[in-house]
Amino acid sequence: MEKTIDESVQGSALSLEKKNTNSRKLYIESYGCQMNFSDSEIVASILSNEGFNTTQELKEADLVLVNTCSIREKAELTVRKRLEKFNAIKKDRPHMKVGVLGCMAERLKHKFLEEEKIVDMVVGPDAYKDLPNLIQEIDEGRNAVNVILSKDETYGDVAPVRLNSNGVTAFVSITRGCDNMCTFCVVPFTRGRERSRDPQSIVDEVNDLWEKGYREVTLLGQNVDSYLWYGGGLKKDFAKASEMQKATAVDFAQLLEKVALAQPRMRIRFSTSNPQDMTLDVIRTMAKYENICNYIHLPVQSGSNRILKAMNRLHTREEYFELIDNIKAIIPDCAISQDMITGFPTETEQDHQDTLSLMEYVKYDYGFMFAYSERPGTLAERKLTDDVPAEVKKRRLAEIIELQRRHCQERTEQHLGKVQEVLIEGTSKKSEEHWMGRNSQNTVAVFPKENYKVGDFVMVRMDDCTSATLIGKAVGYSDNNV
Classify residue 160: in a domain, yes or no: no
CB-count exposure of residue 482 (10 Å: 0-12, 13-18, 19+):
exposed
> What gap in Å lies between CA 72 and CA 289, rounded to an integer?
37
For residues 404 and 455, state if they share a domain.
no
Strand partners, 279: none
User: Does a structural domain hold residue 84?
Assistant: yes
Instruction: Let me know whether 225 and 103 are in one domain.
Output: no
Do the Cβ atoms of 135 and 127 come closer than 8 Å? no
pLDDT averaged over 10-residue windows placed end to end, the chain, 482 residues? 34 46 88 82 90 90 87 74 88 89 76 76 90 92 87 82 85 91 87 90 96 95 92 72 82 97 97 95 98 97 98 97 98 97 98 98 96 90 95 98 98 98 96 97 97 97 96 95 79
Q: Nearest Cα to 173, choosing from 222, 235, 105?
A: 222
Task: Give residues with Cβ within 8 angstroms of 432, minimum separation 6.
Answer: none
Query: CA Rg, the chain, in Å?
Result: 22
pLDDT at 348: 98
Total structural domains within the chain:
3
Residues 434 and 405 in one domain: no
Q: Are residues 369 and 464 in the same domain?
A: no
Do 245 and 304 sit in the same domain of this protein? Answer: yes
**Peptide bond before 218: cis, by omega within 30 degrees of 0?**
no
Strand partners, 100: 66, 122
Give the whole-angstrom CA distance, residue 335 versus residue 412. 10
Residue 22's H or E segment, with its range, is none
Q: Is residue 482 part of a domain?
A: no
Inside any domain, residue 163 = no
Residue 161 lies in a domain: no
Domain at 81, CATH number:
3.40.50.12160
46 φ, ψ (degrees, to nearest 5): -60, -45
Residue 133, pLDDT score: 92
DSSP per-residue codes, 58-117: GGG-SEEEEEE--SSHHHHHHHHHHHHHHHHHHTT-TT-EEEEEHHHHHHSHHIIIIIS-
User: Is 16 inside a domain boundary?
Assistant: yes
Q: What is the pLDDT of residue 233?
A: 63
Residues belonging to the binding site for [4Fe-4S] cluster are: 33, 69, 103, 178, 182, 185
Q: What residues form DSSP beta bridges with 169?
A: 216
Do residues 291 and 253 both lie within one domain? yes
Kindly state whether residues 108 and 206 are assigned to the same domain.
no
Q: How far is 190 from 70, CA to CA, in rounded Å? A: 9
Q: Which domain holds residue 203?
A: 169-413
pLDDT of residue 467: 92
Asked if 126 and 42 sit in the same domain, the reply is yes
178/112 same-domain check = no
Residue 373: CB atoms within 10 A of its CB come to 16
Cα distance between residue 77 and residue 79, in whole Å: 5
Pairing of β 4-6 and β 52-54:
unpaired
314: exposed, middle or buried (Cβ count in 10 Å: 0-12, 13-18, 19+): middle
pLDDT for position 80:
83
Boundary-marking domain end, from 113, 146, 179: 146
| 3-class SS string, 390-424 | HHHHHHHHHHHHHHHHHHHHHHHHCCCCCEEEEEE
Please check whether residues 373 and 429 belong to one and the same domain. Answer: no
Contact 327, 296 (CB under 8 A): yes
* Res 18: pLDDT: 62
Binding-site annotation, residues: 33, 69, 103, 178, 182, 185
Last residue within a domain, chosen from 379, 413, 447: 413
Same domain, 399 and 424: no
In a domain, 405, yes or no: yes
* Amino acid at the residue 103: C
Residues 112 and 35 reside in one and the same domain? yes
Name the residue among 307, 333, 40, 235 with its Cα closest to residue 320: 307
At residue 268, the 3 state secondary structure works out as strand
At which of 146, 178, 202 does a domain end?
146
- Number of other CB atoms surrounding residue 171 within 10 Å: 20
Q: Any idea what the CATH number is for the domain that residue 405 is in?
A: 3.80.30.20
Flag whether 151 is in a domain: no
CATH code of 448's domain: 2.40.50.140
- Residue 184: closest CA among 81, 318, 299: 299
Q: Do residues 103 and 190 make contact, with C-beta atoms less than 8 angstroms apart?
A: yes
Report the pLDDT value the prediction gives residue 114, as an integer from 0 to 100.
67
